[in-house]
């Protein structure tokens, strides 16, 4: 047996003091006591002829000494050491993702994980012996954060855990595990302890690494509802209205009734009762009038295990005109698709491109090589700037379409079934773009941002394919124009996932700071100051671990942006019993090895039991 506070043994000096009181003869003073059974022998003594007397056998003395001894033992916090790891270094990683806020713990999963981690701190062997160790505390939230560097001071470790807080970001454990793997690589007896629910954890990148990981699972709830998408567009049937698209994922095995509230700048617009199908994602569309720039918010009113995914917000700006220039030698299909791309599209046409006084938002190059490449956003068909792609540009005959990425906004609702291409350019995929449509030898459609210019590139001439005859062609053109529209690009920057950095270009008037300082007002009202050097072209703010509306105050401008969770993997809160490490193995959840089991509570309960036994004996004798 060992003791956490051995200094409390000094209270044992009170034991002989009690014995001395029993050796002294006492002058009688009338006092009311609950029981006189143990005092009968002393009632007969009415005189004190000597200061001391012979110590007699007395149950009261025995009980008092026993009670005092039990109290001293309780103060010393005795414990028995169990099987504790003899690791020289223990790296504790606390998952701080949104799913750890699920209310099936004490009271949340994060609180349960922290309590288990504190037990591991209590089990840490300290001192100067060969089996003493150190511990490092990491918080894996939006970013990996070292809350406490390696130390053997238990007070510092407890303080680091008690001040840790969860975030609203998706699960991001890879960075923390990479750091932990580096710290434990050259220490054969080091260990990594991960406290998590295992929801949405991907460890495939550690497949070929010796990761000495112990997984401590928390959580038990599996059912949850959560908002996983939110977007706002112009209503195609009524340009004066805005269409708010959202979807709710139901992770339970039964249909669930609930309702969604739509608000604009905290003003309730509409409430829709919805039946959410079991294990499915239910789309919901709201139509609303918008007279000024503001914030649409959608809230799920039904209570569930995870409140963090029950509300989302989007900053909505009134749409402006989109000036589009089509450079073509003649393509009626493309011309009609651009004219129908949206109610705000202002289409102009030319056979050649040259920089002029008129500024366009989007330039569409249809198999025409311009003398100077436009600085505006570009949709290019069968023409490529040599600076866009690494290596030489070749040619392909009848390339088949084998795959496409319909999760990208440009390919939303676009299908390439039964689309045949006669000829296409062959390029290597650039680092700045994402291949959207693939053939076996070359990407056929890529989209990305080069510098500050957005580019959508199509490798083939639309007239040398069957694509214009398919309904997917005008949908693609409308999606591309919307994505290339600078107004839409600016609006997309105003919606950020929790944990991701917000970036704001500083090119316009009124956005440049007058005193080299920008301020960001957080959702809770706290402020952060961001110093900006002269000539800075972009403001970057990374403290976005909490959901809500953030406001940037800079120069004469106020820019609001929304931070949301919107993560289907985080909404699936079912805890995992094991973590997969690629194809090579898995980490099975384990119970925390209990060590340093404290028994002071039992000593305190024993003392209380002794007192209650005396009370019971008194009433039994006098009944």
pLDDT digits (tens, 9 = 90+) for 388-441: 999 889 999 999 999 999 889 999 889 999 999 999 999 999 999 999 999 999
Model confidence over 350-371: pLDDT tens digits? 999 987 767 899 999 999 999 8
pLDDT at 197: 92
Over residues 534-548, the mean pLDDT reads: 89
Over residues 609-622, the mean pLDDT reads: 68
CATH for the 499-564 domain, from 3.40.50, 2.60.40, 2.40.40, 1.10.3470 = 2.60.40
Find out whether 291 and 317 touch, Cβ atoms under 8 Å. Answer: no
Residue 595 pLDDT > 60: no
The CATH number that domain 89-222+577-595 falls under is 3.40.50.410
Tokens, residue 289 = 């009038």
The DSSP call for residue 52 is B
Residue 193 pLDDT > 70: yes
In b/e form, how buried is each residue of 240-267, taking b as 16+ CB within 10 angstroms?
A: eebbbebbbbbbbeeebebebbbbbeee
Task: Indicate the range of 161-175, 194-208, 467-481, 558-572 predicted with least confidence.
Answer: 194-208
pLDDT at 599: 67
Query: Cα-flanking dihedrals φ and ψ of residue 523, to 5°?
Result: -55, -35
**530, containing H or E segment:** strand 527-531
Spatial separation of the C-alpha atoms in residues 126 and 151, rounded to whole Å: 10
Find out whether 225 and 301 touch, Cβ atoms under 8 Å. Answer: no
Spatial separation of the C-alpha atoms in residues 268 and 260, rounded to whole Å: 11
How does residue 49 score in pLDDT terms, banded at 50, 70 and 90?
Answer: very low
Residue 19 pLDDT > 60: yes
Find out whether 197 and 95 touch, Cβ atoms under 8 Å. Answer: yes
The closest of 260, 259, 266, 261 to 295, measured between CA atoms, is 266
Model confidence over 297-349: pLDDT tens digits? 999 998 899 999 999 999 998 888 999 999 999 999 999 999 998 888 999 99
Q: How far apart are the first and last CA of the chain?
A: 43
Over residues 289-300, the mean pLDDT reads: 94
The DSSP call for residue 556 is T
Model confidence over 124-179: pLDDT tens digits? 887 655 567 899 999 998 889 999 999 999 999 999 999 999 999 998 888 899 89
pLDDT at 384: 92
Between 9 and 568, residue with greater pLDDT: 568
Tokens, residue 323 = 């000036």
pTM score, whole prediction = 0.71
Spatial separation of the C-alpha atoms in residues 226 and 88, rounded to whole Å: 42
Spatial separation of the C-alpha atoms in residues 420 and 467, rounded to whole Å: 7
Please say whether the structural domain 229-317 has been given the CATH code 2.60.40.10: yes
pLDDT at 593: 46
Burial of 103 (0-12, 13-18, 19+ CB in 10 A): middle
How does residue 38 score in pLDDT terms, banded at 50, 70 and 90?
Answer: low
Helix (H, G, I), strand (E, B), or coil: what is residue 6?
A: helix
Query: Sign of the C-alpha dihedral, residues 202, 206, 210, 211?
Result: negative
Spatial separation of the C-alpha atoms in residues 172 and 162, rounded to whole Å: 21
Tokens, residue 371 = 């003398």
User: Strand (E) positions, 266-344?
Assistant: 267-276, 281-289, 294-300, 311-316, 322-327
pLDDT, the chain, mean: 85
The closest of 563, 550, 555 to 498, measured between CA atoms, is 563
Indicate if 322-490 has the same CATH topology as 229-317. no
pLDDT at 279: 92
Spatial separation of the C-alpha atoms in residues 175 and 89, rounded to whole Å: 19
Q: Give residues with Cβ within 8 angstroms of 254, minimum separation 6.
A: 278
Strand partners, 362: 324, 377
Which residue matches tokens 């000094």? Answer: 10
The DSSP call for residue 400 is P
Find out whether 578 and 546 touch, Cβ atoms under 8 Å. Answer: no
280 upstream amide cis, omega within 30 of 0: no
Over residues 40-52, the mean pLDDT reads: 54
Task: Indicate the range of 48-52, 153-157, 577-581 predicted with least confidence.
Answer: 48-52
Spatial separation of the C-alpha atoms in residues 476 and 410, rounded to whole Å: 6
Helix (H, G, I), strand (E, B), or coil: what is residue 348?
A: strand
Residue 50 pLDDT > 70: no
Burial of 218 (0-12, 13-18, 19+ CB in 10 A): buried
The CATH number that domain 322-490 falls under is 3.40.50.880
HSE, CB side, 13 Å, CA atoms: give it for residue 589: 14
Angle, nearest 10°, between helix axes 154-162 and 109-122? 180
What is the pairing mode between strands 256-264 and 238-250? unpaired
Strand partners, 257: 275
**Domains of the chain: which residue ranges?**
2-81+609-622, 89-222+577-595, 229-317, 322-490, 499-564
Q: Give residues with Cβ within 8 angstroms of 609, minimum separation 6.
A: none
Give Cα 329 to chain centroid, integer Å: 51
pLDDT at 46: 46
pLDDT at 622: 60
Spatial separation of the C-alpha atoms in residues 289 and 238, rounded to whole Å: 10
Query: Cα-flanking dihedrals φ and ψ of residue 157, to 5°?
Result: -65, -45
The closest of 588, 521, 600, 578 to 553, measured between CA atoms, is 521
Spatial separation of the C-alpha atoms in residues 65 and 62, rounded to whole Å: 5
Residues of the chain with pLDDT > 90, as a percent, come to: 54
Spatial separation of the C-alpha atoms in residues 506 and 303, rounded to whole Å: 42
Which residue matches tokens 């993560």? Answer: 567
Between 42 and 243, residue with greater pLDDT: 243
Tokens, residue 565 = 């969770």
């Amino acid at each position: 047996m060992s003791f956490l506070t051995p200094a409390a043994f000094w209270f044992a000096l009170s034991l002989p003091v009690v014995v001395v009181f029993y050796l002294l003869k006492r002058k009688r003073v009338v006092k009311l006591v609950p029981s006189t059974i143990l005092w009968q022998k002393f009632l007969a003594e009415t005189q004190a002829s000597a200061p001391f007397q012979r110590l007699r056998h007395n149950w009261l003395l025995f009980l008092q000494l026993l009670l005092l001894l039990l109290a001293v033992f309780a103060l010393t916090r005795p414990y028995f050491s169990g099987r504790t790891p003899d690791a020289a270094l223990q790296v504790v990683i606390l998952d701080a993702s949104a799913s750890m806020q699920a209310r099936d713990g004490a009271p949340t999963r994060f609180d349960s994980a922290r309590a288990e981690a504190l037990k591991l701190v209590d089990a840490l062997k300290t001192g100067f012996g060969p089996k003493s160790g150190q511990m490092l505390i990491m918080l894996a939230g939006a970013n990996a954060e070292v809350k406490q560097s390696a130390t053997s001071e238990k007070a510092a470790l407890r303080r680091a855990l008690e001040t840790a807080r969860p975030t609203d970001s998706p699960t991001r454990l890879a960075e923390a595990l990479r750091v932990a793997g580096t710290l434990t690589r050259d220490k054969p007896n080091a260990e990594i302890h991960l406290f998590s629910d295992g929801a949405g954890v991907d460890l495939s990148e550690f497949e070929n690494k010796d990761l000495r990981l112990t997984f401590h699972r928390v959580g038990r709830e599996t059912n949850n509802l959560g908002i996983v998408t939110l977007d706002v567009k112009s209503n195609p049937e009524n340009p004066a209205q805005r269409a708010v698209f959202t979807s709710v994922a139901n992770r339970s095995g039964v249909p669930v009734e609930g309702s969604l509230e739509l608000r604009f700048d905290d003003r309730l617009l509409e409430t829709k009762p919805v039946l959410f199908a079991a294990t499915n994602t239910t789309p919901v569309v709201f139509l609303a009038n918008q007279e000024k720039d503001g914030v649409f918010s959608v809230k799920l009113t039904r209570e569930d295990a995870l409140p963090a995914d029950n509300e989302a917000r989007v900053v909505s700006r009134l749409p402006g005109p989109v000036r589009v220039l089509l450079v073509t030698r003649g393509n009626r299909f493309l011309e009609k698709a651009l004219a129908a791309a949206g109610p705000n599209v202002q289409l102009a046409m030319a056979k050649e491109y040259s920089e002029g006084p008129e500024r366009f938002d989007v330039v569409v190059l249809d198999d025409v090589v311009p003398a100077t490449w436009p600085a505006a956003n570009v949709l290019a068909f069968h023409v490529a700037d040599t600076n866009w792609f690494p290596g030489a540009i070749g040619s392909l005959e009848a390339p088949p379409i084998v795959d496409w990425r319909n999760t990208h906004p440009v390919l939303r609702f676009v299908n390439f079934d039964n689309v045949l291409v006669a000829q296409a350019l062959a390029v290597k995929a650039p680092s700045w773009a994402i291949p959207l449509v693939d053939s076996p030898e070359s990407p056929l459609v890529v989209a990305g941002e080069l510098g500050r210019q957005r580019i959508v590139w199509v490798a083939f001439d639309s007239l040398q394919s069957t694509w214009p005859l398919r309904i997917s062609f005008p949908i693609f053109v409308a999606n591309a124009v919307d994505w290339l529209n600078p107004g839409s690009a600016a609006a997309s920057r105003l919606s950020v996932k929790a944990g991701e950095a917000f970036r704001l270009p500083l090119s316009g008037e009124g956005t440049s700071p007058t005193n080299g300082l920008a301020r960001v007002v957080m959702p809770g009202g706290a402020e952060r100051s961001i110093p900006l050097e002269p000539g800075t072209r972009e403001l970057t703010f990374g403290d976005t671990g909490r959901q809500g509306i953030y406001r940037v105050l800079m120069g004469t401008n106020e820019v609001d942006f929304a931070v949301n969770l919107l993560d289907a993997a985080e909404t699936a809160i079912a805890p995992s019993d094991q973590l997969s490490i690629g194809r090579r193995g898995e980490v099975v959840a384990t119970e925390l090895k209990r060590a340093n089991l404290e028994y002071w509570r039992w000593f305190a309960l024993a003392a209380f039991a002794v007192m209650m036994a005396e009370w019971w004996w008194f009433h039994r004798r006098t009944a």
